[in-house]
């Protein structure tokens, strides 16, 4: 009986000794930051991470340095002369010359990522397939591991448009245009939590995006890539031919509201629309492609169409 009572105590002592060996292992003078990231669960984005920027801020939110790393799942960084303490790291994936950070990397709270595809006429082309996350960690002797689950900070809008009759040829090239599109996100601050993961706060600046498109058998297809949308900033869509509109203005806030779609509740903003130009010039909008799966919201009526 005495042995049975002592056995759990002996096992506890052995486990405690093992834990102490792991925790208090002698690292000598080694200090290293281990950086890890995971990609969103959406399968089509698994191979989308081409570049990574790791921005390091101290406990007061002051920029310290940028960690230049390759887009690998796990990387190591020597903190050099950085003092021990609490830090925040902001990870931005796939940022190229199509986007830029303002604030001169001075403070965390004012750090903003902007679309940088403005054309001479004032409209914007597609932006990068951007991902983001931030995390805090404590730098001390040994290894400090930082694991960030990346989330989307961009939006896809796929448009497929066709005519019921033969389109009038007014001359000029066709273009799809989006008005009131968000142009920035505040990557230093956290906004919504979606799917259990934090997302950055989006900015209030908006602009116009355009896509040059060509009809093929009276069908036009195009894909916009913009900054994330919000419930407060929903764009309007229109087809142009040369210098004249070829469709009425399509208010996507009205369309999304009828379908119970909410950008603020959509983890991966990947929207697919069908637009039919009727004989009288009005348009009928319906759900197209993968939107039936990606953007379903409980209580929605996806699959219906509306005439504008």
Q: Which helix (H) or strand (E) holds 212?
A: strand 206-213
* pLDDT recorded at residue 159: 97
Q: Coil, helix or strand for 34?
A: strand
Phi, psi of 104, rounded to the nearest 5 degrees = 50, 25
* pLDDT recorded at residue 108: 93
* pLDDT recorded at residue 145: 83
CA atoms within 13 A on the CB side of 6: 3
The encoded tokens of residue 102 equal: 């303002």
* Cα–Cα dist 129/95, whole Å: 8
Long-range contacts of 247-255 (CB under 8 A, 24+ apart): 247/161, 247/275, 247/277, 247/281, 247/283, 248/281, 248/282, 248/283, 248/308, 249/179, 250/275, 250/283, 250/285, 250/308, 251/308, 254/306, 254/308, 255/285, 255/306
* Cα–Cα dist 194/295, whole Å: 13
* Cα–Cα dist 291/138, whole Å: 41
Whether 155 shows a pLDDT value over 60: the answer reads yes
Long-range contacts of 212-217 (CB under 8 A, 24+ apart): 212/173, 212/174, 212/175, 213/174, 213/175, 213/176, 214/173, 214/174, 215/167, 215/174
- What pLDDT, in 10s, does the model give residues 6-47? 333 333 333 333 222 222 233 345 678 888 888 876 545 455
Give the DSSP per-residue string, 126-174.
Answer: -----EEEEEEEEE-SEEEEEEEE-EE-EEEEEEEEEESSPPP--SS-E
- Of 155-159, 167-171, 219-223, least confident by mean pLDDT is 167-171
Query: In 3-state terms, the chain is what percent helix, strand and coil (to 5)?
Result: 15, 45, 40
Determine the average pLDDT of the residues in 160-185: 89
pTM, 2 dp:
0.82
Decide which of 251 and 10 is more confident.
251
Phi, psi of 228, rounded to the nearest 5 degrees = -55, 145
- What pLDDT, in 10s, does the model give residues 208-241? 999 999 998 889 999 999 999 999 999 999 999 9
Tell me which residue of 145, 147, 140, 146 sits closest to 24, measured CA to CA. Answer: 140
* pLDDT recorded at residue 300: 31
Q: What is the DSSP letter of 104?
A: G
State what percent of residues in the chain have pLDDT above 70: 79
Residue spans of the domains in the chain: they are: 28-151, 155-183+205-307
* pLDDT recorded at residue 21: 27
* pLDDT recorded at residue 75: 79
118 CB neighbour count, 10 Å cutoff: 14
* Cα–Cα dist 250/179, whole Å: 10
- Of 131-145, 150-164, 249-263, least confident by mean pLDDT is 131-145
* Cα–Cα dist 24/201, whole Å: 40
* pLDDT recorded at residue 8: 37
Q: Are 150 and 38 in contact (CB under 8 A)?
A: yes
CATH topology of domain 155-183+205-307: Immunoglobulin-like (2.60.40)
Determine the average pLDDT of the residues in 121-142: 91
Whether 149 shows a pLDDT value over 80: the answer reads yes
State what percent of residues in the chain have pLDDT above 90: 53
- What pLDDT, in 10s, does the model give residues 72-113? 667 788 888 888 899 999 999 999 999 998 877 889 998 999
**pLDDT mean across residues, the chain:** 81
**H helix runs in the chain, sequence order:** 2-23, 252-259, 291-294
In CATH, the number for domain 28-151 is: 2.60.40.2100
């Amino acid at each position: 009986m005495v042995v049975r009572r002592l056995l759990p105590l002996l096992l506890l002592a052995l486990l405690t000794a093992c834990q102490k060996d792991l925790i208090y292992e002698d690292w000598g003078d080694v200090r290293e930051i281990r950086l890890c990231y995971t990609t969103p669960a959406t399968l089509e984005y698994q191979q989308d991470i081409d570049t990574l920027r790791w921005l390091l801020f101290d406990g007061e939110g002051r920029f310290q340095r940028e960690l230049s790393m390759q887009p690998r799942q796990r990387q190591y960084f020597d903190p050099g002369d950085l003092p021990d303490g609490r830090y925040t790291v902001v990870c931005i994936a796939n940022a190229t010359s199509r986007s830029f950070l303002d604030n001169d990397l001075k403070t965390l709270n004012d750090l903003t990522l902007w679309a940088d595809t403005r054309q001479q006429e004032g409209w914007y082309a597609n932006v990068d397939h951007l991902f983001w996350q931030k995390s805090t960690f404590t730098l001390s002797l040994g290894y400090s591991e930082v694991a960030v689950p990346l989330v989307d900070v961009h939006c896809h809008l796929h448009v497929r448009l066709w005519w019921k009759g033969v389109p009038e040829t007014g001359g000029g090239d066709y273009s799809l245009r989006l008005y009131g599109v968000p142009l920035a996100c505040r990557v230093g601050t956290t906004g919504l939590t979606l799917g259990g993961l934090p997302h950055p706060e989006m900015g209030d600046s908006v602009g116009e995006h355009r896509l040059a498109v060509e009809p093929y058998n009276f069908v036009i297809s195009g894909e916009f890539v913009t900054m994330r949308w919000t419930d407060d900033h929903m764009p309007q869509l229109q087809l142009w031919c040369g210098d004249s509109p070829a469709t009425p203005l399509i208010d996507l806030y009205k369309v999304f509201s009828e379908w119970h779609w909410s950008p603020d509740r959509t983890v991966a903003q990947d929207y697919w629309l069908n637009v039919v130009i009727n004989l009288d010039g009005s348009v009928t909008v319906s759900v197209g492609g993968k939107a039936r799966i990606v953007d379903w919201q409980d209580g929605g009526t996806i699959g219906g169409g509306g005439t504008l």
